[in-house]
Amino acid sequence: MTTSAKIISISWCVLINLIEVAVVVTMLGVAHTSFEKVVISALVLIYLAVKNYFSLLGDGMMKKGQQDLARFIELAKQLKIDTEIYREAYTENQNEINDFSVGQVIDMVFRTVIFFIAMFALVTAII
């Protein structure tokens, strides 16, 4: 991925997460009663849990696939099979995983911010 594509990708990720934060803050700001704030906070926390689960699942599957490809390349070498195409794919996948990790860190930071916003709203609604 070129440098400009990386910048656009990271900018897009930040923009999407800023929109998510704005939506959560707006939803909590529109709630008038403490019951509404509790329900909205609970729904936001459930959303975060599901999003975290699938994010970690996707990351784990990508890394597992990369490990399997590395094992396949080693076995192919032992069997004296040409592995050039697979090594190129391995390198490409590794670069993709590294690029994906940057987006995941950005998502994780924003999910943490949203978590604290939702927890603050939940605690203040209960108290």
Total Cβ atoms within 10 A of residue 13: 17
Q: What amino acid is encoded at 99 in this protein?
A: D
Q: Which residue segment(s) compose the domain that 112 sits in? A: 3-126
pLDDT of residue 29: 94
Measure the CA–CA gap between 21 and 46, rounded to whole angstroms.
15
Q: For tokens 């203040």, what's the residue?
A: 124
pLDDT digits (tens, 9 = 90+) for 14-54: 999 999 999 999 999 999 999 999 999 999 999 999 999 99
| Cβ-contact 9, 90 below 8 angstroms | no
pLDDT of residue 34: 94
Task: State the total domains in the chain.
Answer: 1
pLDDT digits (tens, 9 = 90+) for 43-79: 999 999 999 999 989 888 988 999 999 999 999 989 9
| Total residue count of the chain as it appears in this document | 127
pLDDT digits (tens, 9 = 90+) for 92-117: 888 888 777 788 899 999 999 999 99
